[in-house]
Structures are given as structure tokens and as C-alpha cells.
Amino acid sequence: MGLVSGAGLAEAGHNVLCMDIDEDRVNNLLQGKPPIYEPGLEDMLVSNMSRNSLSFTTSMAEAVDHAQALLIAVGTPPSEDGSADLGHVLAVATGIGQHLSKSLLVIVKSTVPVGTCDLVREEIQNQLDVRGQQISFSVASNPEFLAEGAAIKDFMKPSRIVCGVADEQSEALLREIYAPFNRNHEKMFFMDVHSSELTKYAANAMLATKISLMNEFANIAEKVGADIEHIRQGIGSDPRIGYSFIYPGPGYGGSCFPKDVRALSHTAASHGFETKILNAVESVNDHQKTRLFEMLKNAFSGNLQGKRIAIWGLAFKPNTDDMREAPSRVLIEALLESGANIHAHDPEAMEEAQHLYPGQGRFVLHDDPYEAAINADALVLVTEWKLYWVPDFRRLAGEMAQKVLVDGRNIWSRDKSVEHGFTLHAIGRPTVG
């Protein structure tokens, strides 16, 4: 989020300096090498560095001195109790207070619980007090709404720009910063800081709820012999519901939905309120991540010992290499525990997979998806990368040891699968073949 925001603001004509404490990361960025895979990001970095509108540093003093507005975009990983860990955010606030020498707007873009901007303001002021300095500054909330895999597009053409401010000067500067993105029609929504902080969590919790509810429907459909794809079309045609985020699957993952649902539940609990729906959303999602393994177990009468299982897709979604809380990890770990051998492919996430499962002899990565399927007893689709959408069923039928397919995204042709002798298991749909 921080890197995409920096590159996007530079693309819009601003003079951007990005600061990170990781020297290796900064050195790679100075060579135009981003630490993540995100479509279009590398080209945007290189082009803006070449015209000197974007640079990188490890110096907090240099970053604070550079800025009229300073965006905090560090991570807020989950603590053991589910709350957001604000250590990185407050460490940045400490550094700002230690180096602040002129009036500045501090913009918190990190996804943070309600009240975090207050803590940031207090920490900066504490550091100024220690220094005996009286320097004016403001703190605003400006949460991001970027989807991994489409982050550049989302930043350059935002659906909305939410800003929580406490004074008119902050609003004026934010309007100036985002003017290049606000030309077509008014996209900026100004509100109080606490409402802005909660808006981000509410948005992610709403989307996560739609996913879990649809997966609940899919599980009901399996039990009663209905087809969730017909149901999806029937309810999606209602404009009050719509088609977005009602695709059944193996559960949501990534860096946002899981931690944000937990953090919002924790925030509510800390104020004496139990979030029964959000707790259920998380519980349903945790169970849904086990469904692909359950399907495999059922397909082989409960015995997966020694079975060769091919997996297509490791990232939690297409167009990213992010495997944080990915459904593939739950499946991989359950298969390894059951004694199965795994042969996997992903267009971007295999380096991350090697990092997560080093030296695991029963987890093998292949550069070609069809190589992963050779002699497989079953092939499981976990992530719906485009190159997996229309598989060569004839080739698979000739190379797999057993003709068992598990479609975790409901995208494979049922007719083609049966035509080539496969048994096809899917989410919320009757098994065919």
C-alpha cells in the first residue's frame, strides 16, 4: 500500500520520498526492483525515478525534512489476541516527533483501530515536549481501499477517497494532494477522524461477510442437492445484492480481511460490545478453508497416505504473490499431515512457497502446471489464475494417475470434465462423473 501510494502520487506530479528502515529493500527499490509482485508497479517505479519525482531513503530525518505531508503506511499485523499491533505506527510517530522542524500534516494510511490517530498525535507531541519545541502539526486519517492485484488501478482511479480531518487546513492540503484523482466527479468524502478510521474496517468486514455468507449457502446447497452457481445467479440479479463478492470458494485470505475482521471484533469487545456476526464470519471462513481437504478425503475414502496431489494456485488470489492466510496453506499443511505428496504450481507465489516450506521433501514446485499434474491422483484448483480457467482436459486425462478433479473456484467445465472421464468435485455443486 505504501509503495503503490508513493508511486501513484509521483505519477500524478508530486515530489515523493519513500522511507523504510530495511536497507536491502531500499537498495532494491533504488534499482527499480519492488519487493512484491503487483501488475504495473515496477514500470511505474522506474518511470517516476527516471524523472526524479520518486526516490527512497532509510533516513527518518531526511523524510521528515522533505515533507509537507507525511503518510504513515506501515503494517499493523495482528497480535495474539486479534488486536492490531500498532508498534510500527507509533514508532513512526516517535521518529516524526524527534525530527519535526516545521509545520506538517501527518496522514495515517495504515489500517488502524479507532483512536489510533489520537495516539499518533499524542506520541508526536510527547517527543516535541521532550525536545522543548513548539511546532504545529495535524494528524489526519486517509485509509486505503486497494485490492491486491489491482492496486495501481485502484489508486489511480479510486472509487472514493475517504479523509478524516480535524481542521480546515488539513482538508485543504488533502484536496490539493488528491486533485489529480478527483477531476471527473467528486470522490472525496471528508468526515471526523474516528469515522474515517472505522470506515476502512467496516468496508472490509462487509465484504468478508458477503464471502462467508455465500460459502454458508454453498455448504447448504451441497447438503440439499442444489447448485450454488444457479443460486448465485438468481440472487446476484437482485440489484440490492449484486454479483460482487458472492462467488463461493475455499475462504478468504490475504493481509486484510482476516486481520481486519479480528481487529474490529477486538475493538468492539474492548468497548463492551460483542460482534456476533463478525465472530461468525471468521468462524465460517476458518471452516471453509478445510473444505478442499475434506473433498479430497471423501474422494479417497479417508486415506490420502502416499497419494500424489497436484495443486494449481498458491497465492490467496490472482495477480499477487501474497500467501498470507491463503487457503492453499491450510490445504498443504493438512495434506502433509495426512501423508500425501504435493506437486504445486503458481505463476508468481512459488518463491514465497519455498520460503514457507523449506526443505519439505513431500512439497515439490513445478515451473509448468501440467508437469505438476503428471501421475497425480487428484488435481485441486485453489486460486483462479486465468491460465487455469480452460485446462487441457485431454492432456490431463492422459497424464494423471487417477481422474479426480477438485474445483475450488467453480470455473471448470463440468461437461468437458465428464467427457474426458473425470470425477469433478466443486464448492456447493453436485459431484459429476
Provide the sign of the torsion angle of the four alpha carbons 357, 335, 367, 359, taken in this order.
positive
* Amino acid in the structure at residue 415: D
* Amino acid in the structure at residue 286: D
What are 80's strand-pairing partners?
Answer: none
* Amino acid in the structure at residue 275: T
The DSSP letter of residue 84 is B
Query: Could you tell me which residues come within 8 angstroms of residue 318 by beta carbon, excluding any fewer than 6 positions away?
Result: 149, 383, 384, 385, 386
Query: Could you tell me which residues come within 8 angstroms of residue 351 by beta carbon, excluding any fewer than 6 positions away?
Result: 321
What are 16's strand-pairing partners?
Answer: 54
What are 78's strand-pairing partners?
Answer: 84
CA nearest to 288, candidates 250, 325, 257, 314 = 250
> How crowded is residue 110: how many other Cβ atoms within 10 Å of its Cβ?
25
> How crowded is residue 43: how many other Cβ atoms within 10 Å of its Cβ?
12
Rg (CA), the chain: 24
What are 310's strand-pairing partners?
Answer: 343, 379
Task: Assess contact for 10 and 2: CB atoms under 8 A.
Answer: no
Residue at grid coordinates 500524478 = 12
How many CA atoms, within 13 angstroms, populate the side-chain half-sphere of residue 375?
6
Q: How far apart are CA 28 and CA 138, in angstroms?
A: 32
Q: Phi and psi for 106 in degrees, rounded to 5? A: -95, 125
CA nearest to 373, candidates 337, 401, 353 = 401
Query: In Å, what is the CA distance from 415 to each residue of 209, 224, 377, 419?
Result: 32, 22, 20, 6
Q: How far apart are CA 322 and CA 66, in angstroms?
A: 32
Report, as residue numbers or ranges, the catalytic residues: 256
Q: Report the residue count for the chain.
A: 433
